[in-house]
């Protein structure tokens, strides 16, 4: 895994992109450390993520995390649920918020669902919108790897352990790699072609069934996530000020019927309007994952 520097000073996270050999398997790894200070507000201890088509393994290396079942908003302490030290989650149809009290250090490893199935034998569909202890989900052959990553002294060594563990297993699959900067929409279109051509069935119903079995999400939902991702990248690229962003142009370019359509869709995927999301991504520590992905994936 290769470290991708993050030039935004507001972000306290790091992004790793996979080597070319693993690019058809791993989307990215992200880590965040929060040492805490008297100047930080409680809001800084949250982590906001959009709806996602990926399967994810997360390690709480220091401190513990709590899941907040409230979409894009903050949860009261009584609404939080403790997460396992090493957590697996399938694709998520709603925005996700977690909370952690510093000092804390977390690491996330995102897999393409079809690659996850090939590596582990686990379909993404049954784990849609689900979080669980990774030891209860993954095969026993993965358990030692999970523990070694947890116990490694630093993130550089963790990335090396991930590469060493996954490379020979993925090589055995002999799956064609994709470009490391591929976006959800490009990936969705490629998978749609593969699903349509696989097996003997060619009907729309059979296509949707096969696609959802592979990824846990229907084709139309995954395509919608890709459209929202495209709009997000274009908004970040247009300027540093809200007045610099041409929202009608972004909506049209991303394929939305109009700006209102884009706003409704952004709320469903992220919990916020596009304008509010971009403002928070640029100013609030809790939106570190959006900042990293905006720099690394755009």
Backbone dihedral angles phi then psi of residue 239, each to the nearest 5 degrees: 165, 170
Q: Looking at per-residue confidence, does 188 or 233 come out higher?
A: 233
Q: Looking at per-residue confidence, does 251 or 101 come out higher?
A: 251
* Residue 134 near residue 40, CB atoms below 8 Å: no
Does 252 have pLDDT greater than 80? Answer: yes
Residue 211 is predicted with a pLDDT of: 55
Rounded Cα gap, residues 234 and 298, in angstroms: 8
Residue 175 is predicted with a pLDDT of: 47
- Mean pLDDT value across residues 225-247: 80
Q: Looking at per-residue confidence, does 31 or 6 come out higher?
A: 31
What does pTM read for this prediction? 0.81
Does 272 have pLDDT greater than 70? Answer: yes
Could you tell me the pLDDT band of residue 28, with boundaries at 50, 70 and 90? very high
Residue 151 is predicted with a pLDDT of: 97
* Residue 46 near residue 68, CB atoms below 8 Å: yes
Task: Using alpha carbons, select from 205, 225, 229 the residue that is nearest to residue 217.
Answer: 225
- Flag the least confident range among 53-62, 142-151, 236-245: 236-245
Give SS3 for 44.
helix
Which residues fall within 8 angstroms of residue 228, CB to CB, at 6 or more apart?
50, 254, 265, 266, 269, 270
State which fold the 2-173 domain adopts: Jelly Rolls (2.60.120)
- On the CB side of 162, how many CA atoms lie within 13 Å of its CA? 30
Could you tell me the pLDDT band of residue 11, with boundaries at 50, 70 and 90? very low
Residue 293 is predicted with a pLDDT of: 81
Does 114 have pLDDT greater than 60? Answer: yes
Strands 80-82 and 46-49: unpaired
Kindly state the percentage of the chain with pLDDT values over 70.
73
Rounded Cα gap, residues 213 and 126, in angstroms: 9
Task: Using alpha carbons, select from 273, 272, 274, 291 the residue that is nearest to residue 282.
Answer: 291
Domain definitions of the chain by residue range: 2-173
Could you tell me the pLDDT band of residue 7, with boundaries at 50, 70 and 90? very low
Helix boundaries (H) for the chain: 113-120, 134-137, 143-151, 155-173, 184-197, 204-215, 219-238, 247-254, 259-270, 274-283, 288-297
* Residue 74 near residue 68, CB atoms below 8 Å: yes
Rounded Cα gap, residues 15 and 117, in angstroms: 24
Two structure tokens written together for 74: 């903050």
Residue 132 is predicted with a pLDDT of: 96
pLDDT tens, 163-191? 999 999 999 886 444 444 456 555 555 55
Two structure tokens written together for 283: 């100013």
């Amino acid at each position: 895994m290769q470290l991708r520097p993050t030039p935004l000073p507001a972000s306290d996270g790091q992004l790793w992109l996979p080597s070319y050999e693993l690019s058809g398997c791993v989307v990215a790894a992200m880590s965040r450390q929060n040492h805490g200070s008297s100047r930080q507000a409680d809001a800084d201890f949250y982590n906001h993520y959009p709806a996602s088509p990926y399967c994810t393994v997360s390690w709480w290396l220091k401190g513990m995390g709590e899941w907040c079942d409230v979409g894009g908003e903050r949860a009261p302490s009584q609404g939080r649920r403790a997460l396992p030290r090493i957590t697996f989650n399938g694709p998520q149809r709603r925005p996700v918020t977690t909370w952690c009290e510093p000092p804390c250090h977390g690491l996330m490893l995102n897999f393409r669902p079809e690659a996850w199935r090939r590596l582990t034998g686990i379909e993404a569909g049954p784990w849609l919108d689900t979080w669980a202890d990774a030891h209860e989900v993954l095969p026993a052959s993965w358990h030692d790897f999970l523990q070694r990553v947890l116990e490694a002294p630093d993130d550089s060594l963790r990335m090396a352990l991930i590469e060493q563990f996954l490379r020979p297993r993925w090589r055995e699959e002999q799956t064609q790699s994709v470009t490391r900067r591929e976006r959800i929409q490009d990936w969705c279109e490629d998978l749609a072609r593969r699903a349509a051509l696989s097996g003997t069935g060619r009907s729309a119903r059979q296509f949707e069934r096969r696609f959802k079995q592979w990824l846990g999400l229907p084709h139309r939902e995954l395509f919608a996530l890709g459209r929202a991702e495209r709009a997000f990248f274009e908004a970040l690229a247009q300027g540093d000020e809200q007045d610099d962003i041409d929202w009608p142009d972004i909506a049209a370019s991303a394929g939305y019927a109009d700006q209102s359509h884009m706003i409704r869709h952004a709320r469903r995927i992220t919990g916020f309007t596009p304008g509010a999301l971009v403002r928070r991504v640029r100013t609030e520590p809790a939106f570190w994952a959006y900042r990293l992905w905006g720099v690394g994936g755009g």
